[in-house]
């Protein structure tokens, strides 16, 4: 292939291209004069493919690119308007020429054979040097460069902040303080070292996985915060996914179906977006590290040395250790929870098979309660905090004192103590099943295991005797409830079978006063061939404690429509949930309402043979009960027959409806066996 050289235009001549016979291969001198010589291999290839052209005998025409070639054997150079530097054979850098920089250069001549551009000088090389603009292109201005640089460093800063926040994010709300984000995370140092050591493709894969892992860790920490706030414990990845549909149902009942659906969809989108952002951030930073590998390696070494020193000397800043392995610790904790939960499932299945009263004959179960109508009632979220917290205790205390006095006038007496619930802040069914089964049921997997088996519940013990009709009143149940068989209930009345036509009160389907009146009208007040054992779950003190029903005249309850005006005039759930003080105040009021409803029902409809056992299922959520609140709930037994209370005299419970602060505290799972024993049951274990 002939090699075209740039030709200088003779004065007064037109800029024409000589034919191929007037050109020759550039000599070493010519190649040296050109701005950039062609690669040696390319020159050899051209020579091999085409014969050399004859030497140029006359001065070559000139182009406006500012470069030229000349035959050093032909004498002085042709006249030129170019600067002296050009005449001396030192070709100027095209990037420094105004004409080229502005994109206004003179015609560059025809392209070299083979389609190669001749704009780059001898040999047709199109690389005009670093910083040169393409023909017709405008180079970035100083302002554009500054904007681009600012965007780069802003992106880098945000990426680093996002990663550090994920690595240092605590898993409890009280720990969410600025000083938690001033630590040096070991995981960041290790991540930098790994990225620096990997080739490009494995590095990109590792950075993506690292970013997705940080997103998962962030979600787990946020779930921990939520679970600690509401349930007083961290999230268990092996057990708690089953609770998410219940959480959505709660939001739907409280805030509306549209809000619940929007929250669910929004949550999924946010998680996916978080994964994408984390992956992009780690890829960006890993690319930056490898672009400055020497300095990044030195920085990682220094950071690692500082971390080890701070760990060894236990150095602190702002009241916490400077060195952090929080992310690794959080993952270890979640992994251990999962392993423990899987191992616990097998152990609990064996534990549930053993039952102290599993083989007790029917006639030896509860002989000292024969002929009594026994009512087991759970008051939602009725915990120790309601009785002892300075904000809530005054109102609840007055209600208990007034109710105790009214019951005493009606001939009833009570004894009260404490039980430590298996759950906290929610999952009421765990408290119900623990109390009735005598087993510690503190998670959903245990609940499913025990309810699928034949372990004897306290309620089923009444059914087993054949001396009682057993019924369940569940105003909170709005669908099928197969657990009724495990509880030993002959009949079940759910939310749709109590005749209520009034409004819902947030999650609660109906006011407790109405549910108890419906229980009296449809079940308890009717004549029976046998005494009743009733299992009643009240709901009015369920969060969000807004709006709260008010007591109305029992004669005016009707179908519940009387509550329409009360519901409309009540507090809005959103206003209460977002205000901690308001939540605590309204919670106390809701407990007062439930206690008043139940004790007035007992005062109004209780007989000489009625025995009422009522208790809380769990404490309210941590934001209401306090971050270090116990799991204790009050329990009371109320009866007219003094023999009923005499049977539990050795329990040392407090007289009245309000247990003393130092009254005995049992695990909730201990109640079944103590109750069965107190009322004459003979233990006979099953294996």
Q: What is the DSSP string of 571-629?
A: --HHHHHT-HHHHHHHHHHHHHHHHHHHHHHHHHH--TTEEEEEEESSPPPHHHH-TT-
Helix (H, G, I), strand (E, B) or coil at 681: coil
CB-side exposure of 621: number of CA atoms within 13 Å? Answer: 20
- In this prediction, residue 197 carries a pLDDT of 93
Q: Which of 169, 98, 84, 94 is nearest to 131 (CA)?
A: 94
Q: What are phi and psi of 437, to 5 degrees?
A: -95, -25
Burial class (CB in 10 A: 0-12, 13-18, 19+), 670: middle
> How many Å is the Cα radius of gyration of the chain?
42
- In this prediction, residue 78 carries a pLDDT of 40
Question: In this structure, is the dihedral angle defined by the CA atoms of residues 83, 87, 89 and 94, taken in order, positive or negative?
Answer: positive
Q: Which of 73, 141, 62 is nearest to 109 (CA)?
A: 62
- In this prediction, residue 136 carries a pLDDT of 57
Cα–Cα distance for residue pair 55/71, rounded to 1 Å:
9
Cα–Cα distance for residue pair 313/307, rounded to 1 Å:
10
The CA angle 166-170-173, to the nearest 5 degrees, is 125
Helix (H, G, I), strand (E, B) or coil at 227: helix
Confidence (pTM)? 0.71
Question: In this structure, is the dihedral angle defined by the CA atoms of residues 246, 247, 248 and 250, taken in order, positive or negative?
Answer: positive
CA distances from 495 to 98, 512, 518 (A): 86, 12, 11
297 Cβ partners below 8 Å, 6+ apart? 196
Q: Which of 524, 510, 542, 537 is nearest to 602 (CA)?
A: 524
Contact (CB, 8 A) for 122 and 31:
yes
- In this prediction, residue 261 carries a pLDDT of 84
Question: For the chain, what is the mean pLDDT?
Answer: 81
- In this prediction, residue 25 carries a pLDDT of 39
Question: Which tens digit of pLDDT belongs to each residue from 615-628?
Answer: 999 999 888 988 78
Q: What is the DSSP string of 498-523?
A: S---S--BTTBSS-HHHHHHHHIIII
Q: What is the DSSP string of 233-272?
A: S---TTTGGGHHHHHHHHHHHHH-HHHHHHHHHHHHHHHH
Q: What is the DSSP string of 455-511?
A: PPPHHHHHHHHTSSEEEEE-TT--S--THHHHTT-SEEE-GGGS---S--BTTBSS-
Cα–Cα distance for residue pair 459/477, rounded to 1 Å:
18
Owner of token pair 């109390």: 435
Is the backbone of residue 616 left (phi > 0), alpha (psi -120 to 50) or beta?
beta
Contact (CB, 8 A) for 493 and 471:
yes
The 3-class SS string of 71-138 reads CHHHCCCCCCCCCHHHHCCCCCCHHHCHHHHCCCCCCCCCCCHHHCCCCCCHHHCCCCCCCCCCCCCC
The per-type count for the chain, helices as H runs and strands as E runs, is 24, 13
Residue 411 DSSP one-character state: T
- In this prediction, residue 296 carries a pLDDT of 93
- In this prediction, residue 230 carries a pLDDT of 78
Helix (H, G, I), strand (E, B) or coil at 387: helix
Cα–Cα distance for residue pair 461/368, rounded to 1 Å:
13
Q: What are phi and psi of 74, to 5 degrees?
A: -100, 5
Which parts of the chain register pLDDT below 50? 1-133
Residue 682 DSSP one-character state: P
Cα–Cα distance for residue pair 332/16, rounded to 1 Å:
79
Cα–Cα distance for residue pair 632/661, rounded to 1 Å:
11
């Amino acid at each position: 292939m002939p090699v075209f050289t740039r030709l200088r235009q003779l004065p007064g001549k037109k800029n024409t291209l000589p034919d191929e016979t007037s050109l020759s291969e550039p000599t070493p001198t010519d190649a040296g004069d050109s701005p950039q010589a062609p690669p040696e291999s390319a020159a050899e290839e051209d020579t091999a493919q085409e014969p050399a052209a004859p030497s140029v005998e006359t001065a070559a025409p000139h182009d406006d690119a500012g470069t030229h070639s000349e035959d050093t054997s032909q004498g002085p150079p042709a006249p030129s308007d170019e600067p002296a530097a050009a005449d001396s054979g030192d070709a100027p850098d095209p990037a420094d020429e105004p004409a080229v920089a502005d994109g206004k250069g003179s015609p560059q001549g025809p392209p070299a054979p083979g389609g190669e551009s001749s704009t780059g000088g001898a040999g047709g090389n199109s690389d005009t040097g670093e910083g040169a603009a393409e023909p017709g292109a405008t180079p970035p201005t100083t302002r554009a460069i500054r904007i681009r640089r600012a965007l780069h460093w802003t992106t880098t800063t945000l990426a680093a902040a996002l990663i550090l926040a994920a690595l240092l994010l605590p898993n409890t709300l009280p720990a969410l303080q600025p000083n938690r984000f001033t630590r040096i995370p070991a995981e960041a140092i290790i991540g930098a070292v790994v990225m620096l050591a990997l080739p490009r493709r494995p590095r990109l894969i590792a950075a993506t996985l690292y970013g997705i892992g940080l997103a998962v860790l962030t979600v787990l920490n946020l779930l921990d915060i939520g679970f600690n706030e509401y349930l007083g414990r961290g999230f268990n990845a092996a057990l708690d996914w089953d609770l998410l549909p219940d959480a959505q149902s709660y939001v739907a009942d409280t805030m509306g179906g549209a809000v619940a659906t929007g929250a669910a969809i929004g949550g999924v989108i946010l998680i996916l977006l978080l994964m994408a952002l984390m992956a992009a951030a780690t890829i960006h930073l890993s690319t930056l590290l490898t672009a400055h590998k020497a300095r990044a390696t030195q920085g990682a070494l220094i950071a690692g040395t500082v971390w080890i020193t701070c760990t060894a000397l236990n150095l602190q800043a702002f009241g916490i250790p400077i060195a952090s392995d929080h992310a690794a610790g959080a993952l270890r904790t979640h992994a251990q929870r999962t392993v423990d939960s899987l191992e616990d499932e097998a152990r609990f299945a064996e534990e549930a098979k053993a039952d102290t009263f599993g083989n007790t004959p029917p006639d030896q179960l509860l002989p000292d309660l024969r002929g009594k109508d026994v009512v087991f009632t759970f008051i939602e979220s009725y915990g120790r905090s309601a009785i002892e917290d300075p904000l809530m205790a005054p109102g609840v205390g007055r209600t208990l004192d007034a109710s105790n006095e009214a019951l005493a006038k009606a001939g009833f007496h009570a004894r009260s103590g404490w039980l430590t619930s298996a759950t906290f802040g929610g999952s009421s069914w765990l408290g119900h099943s623990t109390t009735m089964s005598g087993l510690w049921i503190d998670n959903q997997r245990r609940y499913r295991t025990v309810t699928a088996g034949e372990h004897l519940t306290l309620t089923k013990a009444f059914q087993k005797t054949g001396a009682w009709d057993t019924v369940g009143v569940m105003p909170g149940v709005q669908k099928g409830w197969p657990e009724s068989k495990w509880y030993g209930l002959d009949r079940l009345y759910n939310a749709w079978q109590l005749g209520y036509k009034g409004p819902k009160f947030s999650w609660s389907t109906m006011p407790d006063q109405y549910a108890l009146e419906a229980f009296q009208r449809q079940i308890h007040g009717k004549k029976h061939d046998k005494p009743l054992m009733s299992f009643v779950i009240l709901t009015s003190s369920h969060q969000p404690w807004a709006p709260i029903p008010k007591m109305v005249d029992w004669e005016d309850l009707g179908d519940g429509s009387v509550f329409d005006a009360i519901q409309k005039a009540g507090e809005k759930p959103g206003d209460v949930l977002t205000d901690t003080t308001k939540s605590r105040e309204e919670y106390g009021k809701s407990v007062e309402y439930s206690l008043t409803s139940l004790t007035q029902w007992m005062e109004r409809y209780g007989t000489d043979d009625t025995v009422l056992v009522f208790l809380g299922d769990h404490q309210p959520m941590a934001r209401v009960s306090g971050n270090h609140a116990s799991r204790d709930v009050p329990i009371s037994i109320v009866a007219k027959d003094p023999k009923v209370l005499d049977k539990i005299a050795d329990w040392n419970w407090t007289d009245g409806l309000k247990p003393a602060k130092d009254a005995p505290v049992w695990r909730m799972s201990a109640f079944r066996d103590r109750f069965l024993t107190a009322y004459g049951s003979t233990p006979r274990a099953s294996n």
